[in-house]
Structure 1
Amino acid sequence: MIETLTDSLESAGINLKNLEAEWRRRIDSRLLETEEVDRLGTRMQRIMDSYRGADRKQFALWIEKSYDLLVADRAHESLHFLKTALEHEPANSELGLLLAEVYFQAQEYVNAKECVLQVLTARPAHFEANFLMGLIQHRKGDLREAQATLEMAVGLKKESSAAHASLGSLLAEVGNNQQALEHLATALKLKPSAPVHFLMGAVYYGAGEHKRAIQHLRKATKLDPQFGEAYYQLGLLCLEMNQLRKAQECFKTAQALNPKETRYRKRVRSFSEDATGPDQLNTLIREELLLLKCEGGEKRTK
């Protein structure tokens, strides 16, 4: 499950409300894919292998029930069984980390942090625990602590694309673009990723390098043709650079991927409205371009 979170966090760190909502829905559905189910099964087996209690049969029933619920995309319901199992064996670090991840996905960050702290108390150099703690701190707005923790995670596992991507997204958020680009570039070398290309586009846009931003947004759409938000942001950048035909194509693609999104429909209609040309749209574009513009007033939950 940590690898599923890995993809999720790459978008979450960007702090873009529309992108995050879209990406989270799609990432959640991936749990049903064979690869993800197999990975979760391996996690469950490690939990059982770590068991040292006196009632293995009952413990196995709790773990089996939580597994079934997670695979059925009923993660919140699995919390009861995972919590009960952890109360039965508090020293099971594998179980504590899994429970923390489920809490994290449910945006229950206080509970997630408590679980991770238990793991880190027993195993301070645990990569996944440090990694998840950094994500929690980032979500809660504790940016300085999150940066230190994610740097720790990168140091523990330099070959982790997700750790580099998460640290890069945080550094971009605090305005350290140079280091952000270094970590994001490393993440892409380790594992090509549409969300990381999206974030690279965000950083380059913020630095005024629009051509590079467009290059990365295009790579994001090639890696993930269903990435509607990447098409939309690419369309906005093309429109700002007066590449009207390309912008129109991007908006139409975004709308086709998500017909219910009003922003996409608005842009497609704008090309057929005589009163709305590039000059008139310029202010709206700058307001609507979400790339690297953190929603400072957005309340971070729990």
Structure 2
Amino acid sequence: MPQQIAPARQAPWPVMAPAPETTEALTARALALHRAGELAAAEPLYRSVLARHPAHFPALHLLGLLRAMAGDPAGAVPLLRRAIAVDPRQGFVHSNLGNALVELGHAEEGLAAFDQALALDPSLPEARVGRGNALHALGRHAESLAAHDSARAMGADMPELHNNRGNALRALKRPEEALAACDEAIARHPTYAAAHANRATALADLQRDVEALASVGIALMLRLEDPGALVTQGIILRGLNRPAEALESFDRALALSPQLADAHASRTAALCDLGRYDDALASADAALALSDSAANHRNRAAALARLDRHAEAEAADRAALRTDPASGEAWNGRGIALIELGRFEEALDCFGRAADLHPGNRSIPYNRGNALRGLGRHREAIAAFREASSIDSGFADAHWNEALSQLALGELEAGFAGYEWRWRRKGCPPHRHATSPLWRGEEMDGRVLLLHAEQGLGDTIQMARYLPMVAARGARVVLEVQRPLIPLLGGLNRFAELIATDDPVPRHDAQCPLMSLPLALGTTLASIPAPVSFPALDPARVAAWDCSLPRGRLRLGIACSGNPNHLGDRHRSIPLERFAPLLGAGVDGYLFQTELRTADEPFLAATPAITDLRPRLTDFTETAAALQAMDMIVCVDTSLAHLAGALGRPVHLLLPPLPDWRWMLDRPDTPWYPGMRLHRRAREEDWEQVIAHVAAVVTAEAQLAA
């Protein structure tokens, strides 16, 4: 808070008519200039007095106060200490020393100075306000509020009191009261820039971001290029989903104050929003170099998590907790990292600690639900997701994950209803045709219905089975799919006109995303339609593949990895060398990959038992024809699994402990593809054990084929 000049009743020097050029005259002239705000003119006069009388109490005190008012608390502290050494009985000097110490970041020393001031003069409201400020800096927010309220009870009504009281209320998660306190400060001092900035933070806490941006704009008009207000402005711009502008605001703050740790920390979050994760990590490291705070370790953990460096993120959150064991954010963040590391029980412990510290935080039960899903405890997971959505009914991710657990449990009607929340999830690709009416399964009577792909190639192949049912509702169907699938699905023109996702969209009366068809058509476990056949598949091409491959041995198709950019790819993809046990006597392996990981190339080159089909798999119809020539396919969960399953081929699908919803739980088969067999890796297993089991099946088939 601002320093105060001693009231006239407490002046420790006699009031007298100044004699020219006397010490008293110089002090009086300096004080008049000081009170008029002409600090540059007052300072040399105070120093002239001290040159004559180094122990002159008024000059020591007032020059110390002037340096503090000029933004130089480091220069103020030694002067105020010298004044106290001359006369330790003046409470207001101890109070001003406390203010300077708090501004320097020495809150404990500042608190001691305020306590001494109040011991000398219990009626000094400025010391009570300053004491509240020191307690706030120490994180003792309830005590800070009590100190400010005690000053109010004594009749104190200065703007600084209300502003600082608002800071304490905000820290205590009472934003409505914090906003009222800031308004009280502004009512007493309309051009109080700090109060306008703090008002903006309270409005942001209340998610009134547009008003908050206007409020911080006033603060910046009153105090041009104030680094703290620029940081506040950036935080609000992030809340308005304007990360590029937020980053610009943080960068302006750092240009003015390069050592401002909060600006580096907030910059980290904006860079994460922009997908610049390496830059975000560098910014987090810069913040941490300036302040070894729990918040800065937490920010570093968040950046590491975005880089999929989860072990390091978990270590960073542990560092945050060493600094502040009561950081609910760090407990929550550490739990998220532990989920990614597959350490679900430890994650549950972290979320329990976080919930104790921050009850009512929606993300904590949500994350607990994800840990329970990882443990296969889907009923408990659903309860946790519902707890999260009860806190925030619009929490799309909680509704979505509840739906995934319901689908995994085979509760398809409820699950597909909840699956519609996907469109409201942050980061979900936009619904390209949302402006057209949504089809919900009603009769179409010859009207045009646009069905459109929205997810992966495998999802499109899986949902193509609904085309005959949609056509039976009287719709003239236009099917918009990924261009690579056009040749494969081209033979379905008796049900739909095919267009690619980058083609012009014809006029239509309604639209439906492909993944919404199970809901629109009332799908249950008992009513899943059979996979659609692919009339475009040329029998001559199938025969050519069959003739081109050696006979007499079991033909085994292998797909070991999928799209590396898939969110769960590290859980599903398997190094090719792990498939070696499948290549026993009487088995010829055929690699069904259009792309192969660099790390897999040496094994492929050194293994003549696997034939690389990549040069020949020029499109999906070619791949489909090659699959028809296989006796068996062993693959991970990729689009190839859907294609082979839809073709009715004998597929052995390798699944991680937490598989995609469509493969459900525990069962060795799937109603989506009757010819498919599922091989699930338990949490305590590795892939070698699962593949060894499949190898026994392959060997038995090879012996029968021989």
Note if contact 2:166-2:181 (Cα within 8 Å) is conserved in structure 1.
yes
> Residue 13 of structure 2 corresponds to which residue in structure 1?
46
8 Å Cα contact 1:47/1:94 also seen in 2: no
- Structure 1 residue 179, shift from structure 2 partner: 1.2
Deviation at 1:258, TM superposition (A): 7.3
Letter in 1 for 2:180: Q
Q: Does 1:77 align with 2:3?
A: no
Q: Does 2:60 correspond to 1:96?
A: yes
**Inter-partner Cα distance in structure 1 for 2:72 and 2:33:** 18
In 2, the alpha carbon distance for the partners of 1:107 and 1:228 equals 15
Within the candidate set 107, 128, 151, 2:92 is matched to: 128
Say which is worse superposed, 142-151 or 81-90, in terms of deviation: 81-90
Query: Aligned partners of 2:75 and 2:230: how far apart in 1?
Result: 35
**1:8 partnered with 2:2:** yes
CA RMSD of aligned residues (A): 4.4
> In 2 relative to 1, CA 169–85 (structure 1 residues): closer, same or farther, beyond 3 Å?
same
Counterpart for residue 157 of structure 1: 121
1:169 has 2:163 as partner: no
Indicate yes or no: 2:165 matched with 1:200.
yes
C-alpha displacement at 1:161, in angstroms? 1.7
Give the AA of the match of 1:196: L
Return the alpha-carbon distance in structure 2 between the equivalents of residues 47 and 238 of structure 1. 49
Change beyond 3 A, Cα 1:200–1:88: same
Residue aligned with 1:46, SS = coil
8 Å Cα contact 1:218-1:234 kept in structure 2: yes
TM-score of the pair, normalised by structure 1:
0.62
Determine if contact 1:76/1:106 at 8 Å carries over to the other structure: no
Give the structure 2 partner of residue 106 of structure 1. Answer: 70
Q: Does 1:219 align with 2:219?
A: no
1:254 positional shift: 6.0
Matched position secondary structure for 1:8 = coil
Q: Deviations over 1:219-251 (max 9, x none)?
A: 223233333553454345335434578657756
More RCO (CA 8 Å, sep 6+): 1
Asked if the contact 1:47/1:95 (under 8 Å) is kept, the reply is no
Q: Given residue 122 of structure 2, which amino acid in structure 1 is its aligned partner? A: K
Q: Please give the per-residue CA displacement for 1:73-111, whole angstroms capped at 9, x wherever unaligned.
A: 432333222222223233432232122222332344454
CA distance in 1, matches of 2:68, 2:220: 31
Query: So what's the TM-score if we normalise by structure 2?
Result: 0.30
1:108 and 1:243 mapped to 2: Cα distance? 35
Change (3 A) 1:60 1:125: closer
Q: How many angstroms apart in 1 are the aligned matches of 2:91 and 2:198?
A: 34
In structure 2, C-alpha distance between the alignment counterparts of 1:255 and 1:119, rounded to whole Å: 36
Q: Percent identity?
A: 13
Residues 102, 239 of structure 1: alpha-carbon distance in 2 compared, 3 angstrom cutoff:
closer
Rounded to whole Å, the distance in 2 between the matches of 1:252 and 1:77 is 32
- Gapped regions of structure 1 (runs ≥ 5): 1-6, 11-35, 271-275
| SS of the residue 2:81 aligns to | helix
Q: What is the count of residue pairs matched by the alignment?
A: 247
Distance in 2 (alpha carbons) for counterparts of 1:112 and 1:252: 31
Q: String of CA shifts for 1:194-240, please: whole Å, max 9, x gaps.
A: 22222222222222122222221222232333335534543453354
**CA 1:106–1:191 in structure 2 vs 1: closer, same or farther (change >3 Å)?**
same
CA–CA distance in structure 2, aligned partners of residues 61 and 159 of structure 1:
31
